[in-house]
């Protein structure tokens, strides 16, 4: 008998999706629909996004935009349970139960907490510290075993495993120990760096000129890549030029083009203007069909609400069962 593997992951509605998001996690979401044996749960982590500075009306727009983006890229509600985190009663409840078994010291060592706190010094809220507990609840509420996420989330997954072990040992629960899902194709490149500062990972928090938004107008993508930095050694010893070559390898179907620039890299005579043009063409072409679907889908909020409602019904029944089971194990009536 084949063991079913439950896949769970989420993504925050905090601005437009960029190529770093796609290569770090979203492409894995989509790939699991064809290969995963078991249930797949993908959610928009709107509760997590409240830990950052935000405007309520903008948050609503970003949530719809993210759902339209994921569906346009290939996430399918017939193959996966797609839902909005805040629609499900149980995530925050389970997080509170988990918070009773995890020491504060475990949270304070999280590098993402330190990084986010340094970037929003005027708003170092408690949610930044407890974020990994809610993330553990997100996963374990659905008995998640495999989690397709970027490398920067591995420390949070480690904490989820610690929480699961503590709960199982103390209360005889049966939470699995979740692990990151290995990449399934050669498009995965979770270390996409900023266009303007190759020392830092591509992130919306750095500013719009640092990222390549998947559904930007082609001319905007071309201009951003044209102005991309090609020097400045990064933390991993990779320059802006290496970053561009990595993007070409990720999105270009023509191996001869990739081989051409690889040869130039080895010889040290890269024509960066040509490389940038090839990267632009590759990215624009790769997302062209998805972009058309996205432009249509983002205007149809009735359809998007239907997708959320379908996902809510299935996710809620599972979440309720797990939460009630955990409460009983902990002695709550």
Active site residues: 116, 201, 204
Q: Is the CB of residue 244 less than 8 Å from the CB of residue 192?
A: no
Q: Is the CB of residue 22 less than 8 Å from the CB of residue 125?
A: no
The 3-state DSSP class for residue 43 equals: strand
Written as six digits, the tokens of 223 are: 């201009």
Closest C-alpha among 187, 236, 199 to residue 24: 187
Closest C-alpha among 48, 67, 62 to residue 13: 62
For the chain, the C-alpha Rg in angstroms (whole number) is 21
Q: Is the CB of residue 287 less than 8 Å from the CB of residue 215?
A: yes
106 CB-contact burial (10 Å; exposed 0-12 / middle 13-18 / buried 19+): middle
Strands 7-11 and 40-44: parallel
Written as six digits, the tokens of 278 are: 């090839």
What's 4's DSSP letter?
Answer: P
The b/e string for 80-102 (b: 16+ C-beta within 10 A; e otherwise) is bbbbbbbbbebbebbbebbbebb
How many CB atoms are closer than 10 A to CB 173? 18
How many CB atoms are closer than 10 A to CB 282? 20
Cα 187 from Cα 294, distance rounded (Å): 21
């Amino acid at each position: 008998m084949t063991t079913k593997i439950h896949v769970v992951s989420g993504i925050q509605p905090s601005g437009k999706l960029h190529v770093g998001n796609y290569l770090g996690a979203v492409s894995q979401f989509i790939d699991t629909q064809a290969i995963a044996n078991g249930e797949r749960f993908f959610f928009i982590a709107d509760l997590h996004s409240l830990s950052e500075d935000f405007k309520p009306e903008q948050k609503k727009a970003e949530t719809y935009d993210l759902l339209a983006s994921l569906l346009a890229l290939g996430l399918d509600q017939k193959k996966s349970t797609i839902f909005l985190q805040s629609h499900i009663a149980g995530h925050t409840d389970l997080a509170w139960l988990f918070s009773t078994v995890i020491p504060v010291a475990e949270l304070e060592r999280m590098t993402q907490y330190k990084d986010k706190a340094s970037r929003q010094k005027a708003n170092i809220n408690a949610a930044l510290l407890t974020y990994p507990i809610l993330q553990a609840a997100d996963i374990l509420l659905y008995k998640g075993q495999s989690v397709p996420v970027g490398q920067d989330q591995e420390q949070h997954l480690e904490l989820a495993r610690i929480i699961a072990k503590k709960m199982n040992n103390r209360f005889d629960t049966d939470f699995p120990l979740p692990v990151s899902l290995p990449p399934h194709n050669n498009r995965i490149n979770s270390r996409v760096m900023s266009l303007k500062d190759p020392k830092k990972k591509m992130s919306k928090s750095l500013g719009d000129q640092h990222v390549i938004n998947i559904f930007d107008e082609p001319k905007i993508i071309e201009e951003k890549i044209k102005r991309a930095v090609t020097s400045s050694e990064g933390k991993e010893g990779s320059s802006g030029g290496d970053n561009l070559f990595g993007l070409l390898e990720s999105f270009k179907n023509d191996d001869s083009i990739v081989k051409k620039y690889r040869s130039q890299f080895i010889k040290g005579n890269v024509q960066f203007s040509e490389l940038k043009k090839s990267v632009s063409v590759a990215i624009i072409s790769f997302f062209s069909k998805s972009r058309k679907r996205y432009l249509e889908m983002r205007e149809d909020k009735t359809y998007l609400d239907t997708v959320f409602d379908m996902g809510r019904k299935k996710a809620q029944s599972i979440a309720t069962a797990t939460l009630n089971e955990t409460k009983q194990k902990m002695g709550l009536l």
